[in-house]
Structure formats: C-alpha cells, structure tokens
A and B are shown apart, each in its own frame.
Chain A
Amino acid sequence: MTRSTPAWAEGGDPRYLLGTDNQGRDVLSAILYGSRISLAVGFVSVVLAMAIGIVVGLVSGYFGGMVDAFFMRIADVMLSFPTILVALLISGIARGALPREMHDSAALIVLVFAITITTWVQYARTVRSSTMVERSREYVYAAQLVGRRPFAILFSHILPNVMGPVLVIATINLAMAILIEATLSFLGVGMPPTNPSLGTLIRVGNEYLFSGVWWVVIFPSLTLVALVLAVNLLGDWLRDALNPKLR
C-alpha cells in the first residue's frame, strides 16, 4: 500500500503535495500532464473548427444559393440537438470506423475530430451573416472591378473585417471544447487511462470515492472548474476589449 493523503493531512508525505492514488502515483503530476492534454485538445479543435467554420461561412455568405442552403440545413440539424449528444454520436461513429486496437492510440485524434465537427457550425453561422453584410460594401465592389478573383476577395478583403466576433466565439468555445473533452473522457469514450486527460482522471478517481479517497477525484475536478472559469473570464474580457462601444 503506497497510497498517501495530501501533504497537509494526517499521513501525508511532503514530497506528494496533493497525495497519491492507490498505486502510488502522484496526483499533482497527473493533473499537470492531464491539463496539458485537455488544453491541447481544446486549442487544436478550436483552431480546426474555426478554420472550417470560416471557410464554410465565407463561401456560403458570399456565393449563396445551393452551397449556402446545403451547409445551413446541416447547421440547422446540428444546432437543434444538444452539443454533447452530437459529440457523443460523432465519436461513437469514428470509433466504430476504426479497428478496436486503435481506439486508445487514436483517442486524441477522435476527440479532436468529434469536437471540431460539433463546433464549426457556430463560426460558420457568424461568418456567414457578417459576410452577407460585407458582400455589398463598396470595397468589395472595387475589388471585383479591379478583377480580383472571388477567393482573393474572400480571404484578403472580407476575412479581416469579419474576424472580430469570430475571436470572441473562439474563446467561449475553448471553454466549451475543454468541457466536451472532459465529459467524453469522463463517460469513457475519450482519452484512455494510460494517457489521461482531466476528464479521465476524474473518471478513474471516481472509482476510489467510496473508500473515502476523495483527493484523487476532487483535485482534478477543481482544476477543471478553475480552467473553465479562467477561459470563460478571458472570453468576457476579450469581448469587452473588442467591443468598440465600450472603449
């Protein structure tokens, strides 16, 4: 038995600040490594979703017609279900498409994929509506007259003018991506215990809960809450900073 309580509690070892689990693994270092994975999944999926959303939004907003109708119907369906359900379904399908022995090694990719596919819609919606406004501005007409190609107009003229709200959504979505990752891992369809994220740590720690070993589950949970709260506050701050009316 190598389990120890947090350093300040009775039976604690000062070398393990937040205690260790039943196999003597340090909770604090597990949290540090786990947060790294949670943040990585969050950042990568936000960047990917933003890229997909921006391209789809620009194209549907600028060209309209069939392309627009196609993407927006998909968006309607996806937005009418709770995010977590969509993410679960997509990760379920992705796992089904992979052979069983790859589930653990590809977990990171599956998670990023599921979160990206679930969240690109919001960027696409926002970019689309601002693009539809920008489309009829003079500078766009001028660029068309000069003979710039549509994609050059989209990315070098319209894009910079629609980025403001996208950045705000991105920070809000970073908190949401971290939460979705944690929830999927907690439900057992995310990161495997061999390479745990915060959600996996909470899932594994939850099994110790009944023997009164609370620190293995509570500290990762508090870390997750602090992380989400911090990112949300960052989003609020960014929203105010980018809002010209408040300056």
Chain B
Amino acid sequence: MIAFILRRLIQSVLVMLAVALIAFSMFSFIGDPVNSMLPENASTEERQALREQLGLDQPVTVQFTRFVTGAVQGEFGISYRNKRPVSEMIAERLPATLELVLAAAVFALLLGVPMGIYAALHPRGILSNLLNVISLIGISVPTFVTGILLILVFSVWLNWLPSFGRGETVQIGWWSTGFLTVSGLKSLVLPAVMLGLFQVTLIMRLVRAEMMEVLRSDFVRFARARGLTNRAVNFGHALGNTLMPVITIVGLQLGSMIAFAIITETVFQWPGMGLLFIQAVSFADIPVMSAYLVLVALVFVAINMIVDLLYFAIDPRLSVQA
C-alpha cells in the first residue's frame, strides 16, 4: 500500500517536472523580454539592472533550478505586462475561477443525474428521445455561441440576469467570494450554466449508460425477485452502484472545466484566471502563461492521483496487482 502510494507520488512529481520544463522552455521562444519591458531609449545600465532583477544574466541550468524552486514556493516571477508578481495576480483571480467551476459542476450534476436516471428508466419514452436529440445539438454548438445566446435572451431581451463581472464580492481573508451577496449569485448563474451545459450532456449519457448496465445485473434482478418495490430497487440498489463511476468522471472533468473556463470568462468578462491567461497570451506575457500552465497541470495531476488512490482504497482487488 505504502509502496504504491510512494510510486504514484514519484510519478506525479516526474510529470510535474516535465511540465515545469515545458513551462520554462517557453521563455526561450520569445526574444529578450527586457526589450519589450523598457522604453526604446533605455540606457545600457537600465537594461542590465532589469536583466539582473529578472535573473536573466544567469546560465540556463541555474535559471531552471530557480524556476522550479520558485514554482514550488508559488513564486513565478514578475509579469512582463504589468510588472507585478505573478503569484499575487493569480491569488487574486483564483477564487473567481474556482467558484465558477464549482457552481458549474453542481449545476451539471443536479441537471445531468436526474435526466440520466429518467432516460435509463424510460429508455423508449418520448421525453428520453427528446433529451437525446437536445444533447446531440448541444454538442455541436460551440460553447461561446451558447454563452452569447444566453446573454442575448436573459440579459438583453428579458433583462433578468447580469451579463458581465462577478457582482459584489465579500472578502474572507484573501478569498473573495460571490456566494454571499444577491448580485454575486445572480452574476454567477449565466456563466455557470454556460460552463456546465456541456457537462450536463456528458453526465446524462454516462448515468444513462451506467444505470442501464446496472439494471441488467443479477443483484438487481434478485432484489426484484425478493419483491422489493421498483422505487427501492431503482434508488436503493441501482443508483448507488451507478454513481461511483460518475463521480470519478466528474472529478476528472473538473480539470478540463478549469481550462474551458477560459472561454466562459472571456464571454462574461469574469475576473478569473482564464481571463488573466488569455490576456497573457495576447500580450505574450510568458511568466503568467507558464504559471497558469503549471497550475492547471498541478490540478490535473492531483485529481488523477486522488482518483487512483480512491480506487485503491475502495477496490481491494487492486492491491493484489500492486
């Protein structure tokens, strides 16, 4: 058990080092950042001073070591664009993105799971077919088009919900939350729906497939043979066994939702990490880009590892192999 956890940890660390190497090598693709940070007429001394301040006068290996030690401590240097520490900028933006992703995931689960259960219990119903068609169309529509349509209908035409920003936020320590104010919650609705909609179709299809599989299995037939009510069989026996893989997939999807939040945040001008990243891309602000890359990779690796470990804890058959 301990050996397995250790091996898994070492693997994760190696993956993170590889990502760090990619993030670091991004720096070498662009020219001298000093040129773009200083005005044209800056003196040689000024250039030299800035170069030393950024650590660009050191050899590559030293620079990489410094990059990794810095990254481990959450330091990613100074943004080329607004000359502020990247860690500070990300810490400001992190709560917005995480709250958005959380709300979207909850929305997707609350809508997707019941829809999937319904479709599995009534596979030939008219409503099930309708849900299937809608989900097929939903996959073909690009997410930003969905977002624009949501804004057009609910903000411009009906004027029910705000279409940009987070509304009022409350500061709890360094974490700024939009969950505690009415305007914050109202601002959250449309972005969360846009981000969650794609996941709804995914979860629905998954729950439907899993549940139909479970309903065919022996223990469900045995439960029926014992004369249990449909309700007890469907929800007491089948549903619990269906949800296990669903939770795994949703967990794995959280990482890509953080990445897809880039698009949502652009549509709704949501002040999160994605918006920061997209601004960094258009200004070729490499320190911010590399920090974002490392952070997203960390989320992916961490989620994957937790899922693996959970499987190991839940399924005793795996310990024989390991």
Residues of A within 8 A of B (CB): 77, 80-82, 84-85, 88-89, 91-93, 95-97, 179, 182-183, 186-189, 202, 206, 209-210, 212, 214, 217-218, 221, 224-225, 228-229, 232
Contacts and interface: CB of A to CB of B under 8 A. Distances in A.
Contact of A221 (B145, B263, B289): B145
10 contacts: A84-B263, A85-B262, A89-B293, A95-B282, A179-B142, A187-B262, A209-B148, A210-B155, A224-B145, A225-B142
Given A96-B29, A206-B148, A187 B278 contact: yes
Contacts of A183: 142, 144, 263
Contact of A229 (B140, B260, B278): B140
Contacts of A206: 148, 267
B152 interface: yes
A6 B22 CA distance: 49
Interface of B, secondary structure class, is helix
A189 B278 contact: yes
A93 B148 contact: no
Contacts of A80: 300
Report whether over half of chain A's contact residues are helix, strand or loop; otherwise say mixed.
Answer: helix
**Range for the number of chain B residues in contact with chain A:** 35 or more
Contacts of B289: 89, 92-93
Contact of A186 (B29, B31, B144, B152): B144
Nearest to B293: A89
Contact of A232 (B140, B262, B266, B296): B140
B65 to A, nearest CB: 22
A218 B152 contact: yes
Task: Find the residue from A80, A88, A182, A218 having the highest chain B CB count within 10 A.
Answer: A88
Nearest to B153: A214
A85 B257 CA distance: 11
Contacts of A93: 26, 29-30, 289
A189 B277 CA distance: 12
